[in-house]
Amino acid sequence: MGRRGPCKRPTAIRILEGNRSKRRLPENEPASTPITDFSAPADLSDRERAIWSQYAQPLYERRLLNTENFHAFRALCIHTAAFEKYAEALRELEKSGSAKADLFESPNGYPVIHPWVTAKNKESALMRQYFQEFGMTPSSRAGISVAPPDEDSVEELNFRLMLLSSRENRAKVRAANARRVNDDDENGTD
């Protein structure tokens, strides 16, 4: 039996949000390693590479593309390309007029859903799951509030994630956060 309830929010996102729930951060969560080169892998098709180049930069800037989820992002590109391929094939089939795109007649005379429709729907479901994992759907973005990116924010996040590796350093992170909040309150910023 799988885990119950909603998926846990990644610690990096909780830190960016300011740990609104005020619950303890995970003690021994493995730190992620940022990707230094986010060019598309050589074995991807042209369509998959186009999808990679469309989404890699924004995910990297939001610090969501790293070595641990590299293969998940690769799968997102593959499934999105497959979905587009099936959708295009169905449009071409309907344009040709040889058959209705979603239904065709079986040898017994009964209407049957075209196999490409079934494949497109499966790819759509997989694609949606991957998009949700990366926070790329409206509902998955609804609870995330991230400050606009600047040079210091990426370095600060990497610094904080490195510090989270040990218990005594977590106290330093909390103290630094408290000082930053106090400085913001004294300066009148939110």
Per-residue pLDDT of the chain (190 residues; tens, 9 = 90+): 456 777 777 776 777 778 888 888 776 666 677 777 778 889 999 999 999 999 888 887 777 788 888 889 999 999 999 999 999 988 888 888 766 667 878 889 888 888 888 999 999 999 988 888 877 877 676 655 555 555 555 556 555 555 455 445 556 656 666 666 666 666 665 5
Beta bridge pairs of residue 103: 113
Instruction: Give the burial class of 133: count Cβ atoms within 10 A of its Cβ; 0-12 exposed, 13-18 middle, 19 or more buried.
Output: middle
pTM (predicted TM-score): 0.61
The rounded distance, in Å, linking the Cα atoms of 146 and 164 is: 20
Tokens representing residue 128 in the block? 């949606």
Distance from CA of residue 69 to its chain's centroid?
A: 9
